[in-house]
């Protein structure tokens, strides 16, 4: 197998011979894969310090020492080097370290020791300052002694000597390892020609592929599992390739340390090779059986009929929603992108109010996860302020509410397999929409406490009333769609308004791109759907009264027609409007009548008329003789 | 071309390991003997016999709580030296050389590993005639001759002894070979005392510090029949 060398390793190779001062920043607490066999075996995962020690040993440096402001100078990998370093700089080793403060003017302080070693021309020396982010509180609050210490480091680098070795000339090197570049004073690195900053990234796709393929592949399995399972994959390399590709997709964004943890987990759990990817779920969510995998094709075949029982008159919207679910279940959701860590699906529900957008989301949650509570709803009108993202993702350390975490991240941590419903998304502050960009693209988010939350098992649904109204030049609102329009006209008008909102009003076309073709426009509740909704609601009331109070309600056809005509007279408020009418015309008058007649249970009530024009509306009923029913 | 006549390498393994045990006893005995004069035949030691008065059980408390260091064959195959062996040591070279075949289930290589690692040697003071036989590349059978029940203070202690040793033997075999099952059979005075089949996945997550070996073995459906 050809060596796979990371970008940062190449930069280290290049600039360690050109510049005496290197700053390594970024993912520095991770482990790294050593790319070429040397003092460390090829492809072995090692901490950064061991990596650097191995690299510079292999490249002929005589002395490699690490410094930490809490411990001093040390070399846990080769104590002889530390002894040589002590002799060179006139220090003494105590209990395996050379103690040295970072601050101060004493000759024994670390910057002074470093300066002496950088000036030496006998031993090629590399000094690695670990966790250098924490030597000072903040760059803005440095006292004069802090400034002096960094100044001395800078001078050391400026006056670094070149040493002749059997490998050729080597420049003494000073390396600072920091979490973020701006943990250091800007004057130390900005416009500094002797300094090179090298950024360490999380492993990319190739790195992850490398770890799960080739000679490293067996290390993911218990020996007995590998022995029994591997012969099949040796004969079917195409299946192995598919499995490895899936694993690579699922582990996007993970660090080497996390990948190594996956490896250990897989071995401990004696995971069969075919179930390799379940270990990612176990690591991310603490469960092995993924609800998505257990969804049966049979239950999904009848999903539309099941959803139609709850959501009436939205044939196209339900079909489009189920398309996304089918894609997720068949594993085709990630096919058009390089990442399989993205959410299972994204839907943008638009359309008139009360037509079943939220109800569809809840019905989907029940269908997919067996429980309506798997639909987690966020009312985005509560997130209209610029700082609202902290409510959603968690406040950073030191801020009020840090301990509580974020509402969204907490919810997803608790229920990773869920439908996330963001109601009225247009009311959220644009900074929150930026956060959604990351969720939609990478399927993960780091909360204020630094925990990574994964959204790759969620379906994300946004709802919006965008496009229902438009503003004219004077700022007055006008209806953009009306009930007179056909569904294709409504769909076209609303889609175009949603696109205009993101592209022109918000200036964020990239958010629209992440949603893609998944804008689902709900139709108005038309006459036929309205009748179905009314019918379902009346039946539900009759059934509940019978079950709970043993009061049997009879509505003859003539009376029902009175209710029907009044309740369906105006369908512009959708199903919710019909519900309001039923409450106003049936529930309130009937309960008033039952109260006045002191009918508490076990009777049959026939409603003869609905007085819909009365104020308040009333009902004319009679009680059947007890025992006659 | 006619197929080669089938030879069961498992039998070979049985013999090899069995002989090795006896061989070592011979060597130990020979070392203790005076040099033999030319012309006099050296008297060979005989297999352990039942003593007139039963020797007490050696202390075996908590023997099941530990096991030999496991050999991670998949690591070795990929060159990861997680056992901390010197890469130039004969042991590391031996393991590297056999990893591929062991992970292919080669019984010959299993035998080589057992000969090299000798995982059950430390059990000799607790039982006699420890023999290892492969039933397949998935399953190893261990048999041993246990002390007789009279050696124990009471029946409970004897059961504890039988099960503890069985558990330890199984753990030691799982540690060195990538098998899924280990069957352990203990006999005493020609009678079977215990037979149990251990499954690797059952052992993987067990906290051996907190188990009672008799309960554990019984839960696996073992036959424990001392005194019958």
Following DSSP, what letter does each residue of A453-520 receive, concatenated? EE-TT-EEEEEE-TTSEEE-TTS-EEES--TTS-HHHHHHHHHHHHHHIIIIIS--HHHHHHHTT-EE
Closest residue in chain A to residue B136, using alpha carbons only: A228
Nearest to A302 by CA among A328, A333, A327, A326: A326
Q: Residue A574, preceding bond cis, omega within 30 degrees?
A: no
Residues of chain A with pLDDT under 70: 288, 296, 331-340, 626-629
Nearest to A216 among B78, B178, B205 (CB): B78
Percent of chain B with pLDDT over 90: 36
Instruction: Decide if pLDDT at B153 tops 70.
Output: yes
Picking from B80, B137, B178, the nearest residue to A44 by CB comes out as B80
Residue (of A75, A198, A182, A200) closest to A132 by Cα position: A182
Q: pTM for this one?
A: 0.69
What is the Cα–Cα distance from A153 to B110, expressed in whole angstroms? Answer: 59
Distance CA B182, CA B201 (A): 11
- Inspect the interface and report whether the beta carbons of A215 and B79 lie closer than 8 Å: yes
- Contact present, B54 and B150 (Cβ < 8 Å): yes
In the predicted model, is pLDDT for residue B42 greater than 50?
no
Beta bridge partners of B216: none
Closest CA to B152 of B142, B141, B164, B143: B164
pLDDT score recorded for residue A626: 62
CA–CA gap between residue B157 and residue B160 (Å, rounded): 5
Distance from CA of B126 to the nearest CA of A (A): 28
pLDDT for position A259:
94
Interchain CB distance below 8 Å, A223 and B104:
no
Min Cα–Cα distance to chain A from B3, Å: 23
* For helices A205-212 and A237-250, angle between their N-to-C axes, nearest 10 degrees: 130
Return d(Cα A355, Cα A36) in angstroms, integer: 62
* A226 contacts B103? CB cut-off 8 A: yes
Cβ contact A219–B104 (<8 Å): no
Cβ of B73 within 8 Å of Cβ of A230? The answer is no
**Minimal Cα distance from A222: which residue of B?**
B74
Mean pLDDT for chain B?
77
What pLDDT sits at residue B7? 43
Rounded to an integer, the average pLDDT of B175-198 is 92
Domains belonging to chain A, first-starting first, are 7-200 (3.40.50), 205-286 (no CATH), 297-521 (3.40.50.300), 527-623 (1.10.8.60)
Name the residue of chain B whose CA is nearest to A216's CA. Answer: B78
Residue in B73, B74, B79 nearest the CB of A41:
B79
- Pairwise CB contact (< 8 Å): B178 & A226: yes
Whether chain B has a CB inside 8 Å of the CB on A228: the answer is yes
Quote the crossing angle between the two packed helices B155-176 and B107-117, to the nearest 10°: 120
Surface of A (110-149) touching B: CB under 8 A: none
Give, to the nearest 10 degrees, the angle between helix A315-329 and helix A303-310: 140
What average pLDDT does the segment B164-174 reach? 94
* pLDDT for residue B2: 42
Q: What is the pLDDT of residue A197?
A: 94
Q: Identify the weakest region by mean pLDDT among A427-441, B34-48, B114-128.
A: B34-48
Average pLDDT, chain A: 88
CB atoms A224 and B179 under 8 Å: yes
Tracing tokens 């504890």 back to the chain, one arrives at B160
Considering only CA atoms, which of A422, A348, A432 is closest in space to residue A384?
A432
Distance from CA of B201 to the nearest CA of A (A): 7
Of B75, B180, B205, the CB nearest to A219: B75
Residue B6 has pLDDT above 50, yes or no: no
Nearest to B105 among A220, A227, A270 (CB): A227
B72 touches chain A (CB under 8 A): yes
Chain A residues inside the 8 Å CB shell of B103: 218, 223, 226-227, 230
In this structure, the number of other CB atoms found within 10 A of the CB of residue A498 comes to 21
**pLDDT of res. A475:** 78
Q: What angle do CA A605, A611, A613 make, to 5 degrees?
A: 160
B61-101 pLDDT tens trace: 778 888 888 999 999 998 888 888 888 899 999 999 999 99
Residues of A in contact with B74 (CB under 8 A): 218-223, 226, 267
| Burial (CB count within 10 angstroms: exposed 0-12, middle 13-18, buried 19+), residue A212 | buried
- Per-residue confidence (pLDDT) for residue B178, from 0 to 100: 95
Q: Rounded CA gap, A594 and A598, in Å?
A: 6
B178 in A contact zone (CB under 8 Å)? yes
How confident is the model at residue A129, as a pLDDT?
A: 95
Strand runs (DSSP E) across A304-431, as ranges? 345-350, 375-379, 419-423
SS3 (DSSP) at A203? coil
């Amino acid at each position: 197998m050809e060596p796979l060398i990371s970008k940062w390793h190449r930069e280290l190779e290049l600039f360690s011979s050109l510049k005496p001062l290197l700053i390594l920043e970024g993912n520095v607490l991770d482990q790294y894969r050593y790319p070429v066999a040397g003092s460390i075996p090829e492809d072995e995962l090692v901490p950064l310090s061991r990596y650097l020690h191995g690299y510079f040993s292999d490249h002929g440096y005589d002395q490699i020492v690490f410094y930490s402001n809490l411990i001093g100078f040390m070399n846990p990998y080769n104590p002889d080097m530390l002894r040589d370093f002590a002799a060179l700089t006139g220090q003494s080793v105590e209990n395996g370290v050379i103690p040295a403060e970072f601050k101060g003017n004493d000759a024994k302080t670390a910057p002074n020791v470093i300066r002496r070693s950088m000036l030496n021309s006998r031993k090629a020396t590399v000094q690695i300052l670990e966790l250098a982010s924490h030597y000072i509180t903040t760059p803005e609050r440095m006292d004069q002694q802090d400034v002096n210490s960094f100044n001395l480091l800078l001078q050391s680098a400026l006056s670094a000597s070149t040493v002749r070795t059997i490998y050729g000339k080597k420049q003494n090197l000073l390396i600072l390892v920091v979490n973020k570049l701006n943990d250091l004073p800007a004057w130390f690195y900005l416009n500094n020609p002797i300094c090179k900053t090298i950024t360490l990234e999380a492993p990319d796709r190739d790195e992850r592929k490398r770890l799960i393929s080739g000679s490293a592949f067996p290390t993911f399995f218990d020996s007995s599992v590998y022995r029994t399972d591997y012969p099949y994959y040796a004969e079917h390399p195409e299946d192995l390739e598919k499995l490895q590709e899936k694993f690579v997709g699922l582990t996007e964004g993970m660090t080497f340390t996390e990948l190594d943890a996956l490896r250990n987990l897989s071995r401990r759990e004696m995971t069969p090779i075919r179930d390799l990817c379940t270990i990612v779920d176990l690591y991310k969510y603490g469960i092995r059986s993924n609800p998505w995998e257990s969804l049966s094709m049979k239950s999904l075949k009848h999903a539309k009929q099941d959803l139609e029982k709850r959501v009436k008159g939205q044939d196209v919207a339900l079909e489009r929603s189920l398309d996304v679910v089918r894609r997720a279940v068949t594993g085709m959701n990630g096919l058009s992108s390089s990442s399989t860590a993205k959410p299972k699906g994204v839907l943008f529900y638009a359309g008139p109010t009360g037509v079943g957008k939220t109800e569809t989301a809840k019905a989907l949650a029940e269908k997919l996860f067996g429980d309506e509570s798997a639909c987690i709803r966020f009312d985005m009108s509560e997130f209209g302020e610029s700082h609202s993202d902290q409510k959603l993702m968690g406040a950073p350390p030191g801020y009020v509410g840090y301990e509580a975490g974020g509402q969204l991240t907490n919810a997803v941590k608790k229920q990773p397999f869920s439908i996330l419903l963001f109601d009225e998304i247009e009311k959220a502050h644009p900074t929150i929409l930026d956060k959604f960009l990351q969720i939609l693209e990478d399927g993960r988010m780091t909360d204020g406490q630094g925990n990574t939350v994964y959204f790759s098992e969620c379906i994300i649904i946004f709802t919006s009333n965008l496009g229902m109204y438009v503003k004219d030049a004077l700022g007055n609102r006008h209806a953009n769609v009306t009930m007179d329009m056909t569904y294709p006209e409504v769909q076209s008008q609303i889609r175009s308004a949603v696109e205009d909102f993101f592209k022109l009003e918000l200036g964020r076309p990239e958010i629209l791109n992440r949603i893609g073709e998944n804008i689902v426009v709900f139709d108005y509740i038309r006459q036929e759907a309205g009748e179905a909704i009314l019918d379902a609601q009346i039946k539900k009331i009759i059934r509940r009264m019978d079950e709970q109070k043993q009061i049997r309600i009879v509505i003859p056809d003539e009376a029902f027609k009175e209710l029907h005509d009044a309740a369906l007279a105006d369908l512009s408020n959708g199903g919710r409007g019909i519900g309001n009418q039923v409450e106003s015309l049936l529930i309130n008058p009937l309960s008033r009548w039952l109260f006045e007649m002191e009918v508490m249970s076990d009777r049959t009530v026939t409603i003869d008329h609905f007085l819909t024009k009365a104020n308040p509306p009333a009902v004319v009923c009679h009680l059947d003789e007890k025992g006659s029913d | 071309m006619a197929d080669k006549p089938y030879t069961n390498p498992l039998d070979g393994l049985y013999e090899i390991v069995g002989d090795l045990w006896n061989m070592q006893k011979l060597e130990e005995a020979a070392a203790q003997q005076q040099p033999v004069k030319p012309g006099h035949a050296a008297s060979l030691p005989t297999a352990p016999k039942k003593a007139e008065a039963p020797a007490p059980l050696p202390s075996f408390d908590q023997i099941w709580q530990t096991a030999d260091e496991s050999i991670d064959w998949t690591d070795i195959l990929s060159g990861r030296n997680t056992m901390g062996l010197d890469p130039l040591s004969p042991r590391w070279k031996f393991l590297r050389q056999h990893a591929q075949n062991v992970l292919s289930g080669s019984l010959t290589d299993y035998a080589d590993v057992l000969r090299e690692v000798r995982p059950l040697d430390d059990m000799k003071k607790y039982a006699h005639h420890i023999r290892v036989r492969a039933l397949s590349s998935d399953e190893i059978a261990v048999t041993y001759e246990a002390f007789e029940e009279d050696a124990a203070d009471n029946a409970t202690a004897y059961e504890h002894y039988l099960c503890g040793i069985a558990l330890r033997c199984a753990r030691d075999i799982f540690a060195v070979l990538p098998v899924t099952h280990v069957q352990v059979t203990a006999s005493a005075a020609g009678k079977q005392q215990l037979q149990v089949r251990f499954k690797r996945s059952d052992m993987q997550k067990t906290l051996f510090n907190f188990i009672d070996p008799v309960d554990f073995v019984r839960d696996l459906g073992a036959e424990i029949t001392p005194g019958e």
